[in-house]
Structure formats: C-alpha cells, structure tokens
Amino acid sequence: MDQYFSNNPNVVSDPRTLVSTLRGHRFTFTTDNGVFSKNDIDFGSRVLIETFREPELDGLLLDVGCGYGPISLALAASYTNREIYGVDINQRALSLAEKNAEQNKIENVIFRESDILSSVSDEKFAAIVTNPPIRAGKQVVHQIFEESKQALLPQGELWVVIQKKQGAPSAKKKLEGLFKTVEVVLKEKGYFILHAK
C-alpha cells in the first residue's frame, strides 16, 4: 500500500470529483488515488476547518500536510485579505490542490512541495493549521510541531486536529513542552482540536 505521505504515490491515477460545503462556501474538489481522504473531506479536517478562529495577529496562514487542498482553500475563501500557504510532500496531492484552487477561483493561496516546513523556512506565520499524517509516525508528527513553533511569529498560533486513539494526549503533552499555552478547544467523536500559542 503506497502511503499518501510519500513523495510520488505509486498507484494508478483515477481522478474523481467531490462537492463539499466548508465554512459556508461550496467547493468542487478533484481527488485521486494516492492522496489522503480521496472519497470525502476527512472528518478531522472538517472539524478543524469549522473550529479555526482567525488570529488577531496580521500575517500569513499555513496548512501543513495540505493534501488536495480542502483546509487551505476553505481558509483562503474565508479570509480573502490573507495569503494562505499549503505545503505537502505528495506531488500528486499538490497538483490536485493547484487545480482545486483554479476551479474554485481562489487566488490568495500558494502551494509548495515541502518536507514538513523546509520550503517555507524563509516565512513567518500568524497561524499554522495541521491534520498531521499520523501513519507517518509520532516522530514526524512531533517534528511538525517543533518546526511550526520555529515558523510562527511571536504570539502566533498552532491548530492541530488529532484523534484521541491516535495520540491526542501525547500530542498535547509534546505541545505543552513547546508552547506557553495549550488548550483543547473541542472534542468531537474522538477528535481533539488542540490550540497552542
């Protein structure tokens, strides 16, 4: 089974279309084999999208592990005065994200191929959101947290969605070692929304 967090998924392409409403905006997404949650917007991503609150701080927003773009595009449609970056290691997902931005006529979003945050190391962000690739392992998830802390502006915020059974308590503990304040904003159907500042 070729994983969605590999650079170049070695599975036959079979594009499909899904329509979804996120934050009151209707989107048409093209998805494919070899990308995360190809048949529908993942429940965790959906909860993160709907729970996220715009930071008081001016500046860029970043979606780490953007996949085919639902979180990035939902935020870009909601906050048209901001620029949103989406990063992922999966080339197929990124080309879909570009296509999805185009077909939904969203222009304030930039997608980049990136091993975690390597390709955006020159930028600083007001807020970072992530539905981390749990199957990539705890080390990768914790590295996302560490690199996110370095990439945030002072008073910047990190928003994370993670299932309790997939390590929400240990993720919270890791964040508490990195950030001044960490809160559980929401618990829904076993998913935790963690907010670190």
Q: What is the pLDDT of residues 109-137, one digit of tens each?
A: 999 999 899 999 999 999 999 999 888 88
Whether 69 contacts 100, CB under 8 Å: yes
Stretch 41-63: mean pLDDT: 96
Q: How confident is the model at residue 33 (pLDDT cuts 50, 70, 90)?
A: confident
Higher pLDDT: 138 or 85? It is 85
Rounded Cα distance, 132 and 92, in Å: 18
Q: Kindly report, residue by residue over 85-100, the tens digit of the pLDDT.
A: 999 999 999 999 999 9
Q: How confident is the model at residue 1 (pLDDT cuts 50, 70, 90)?
A: very low
Cβ within 8 Å of residue 174, ≥6 positions away: 142, 145
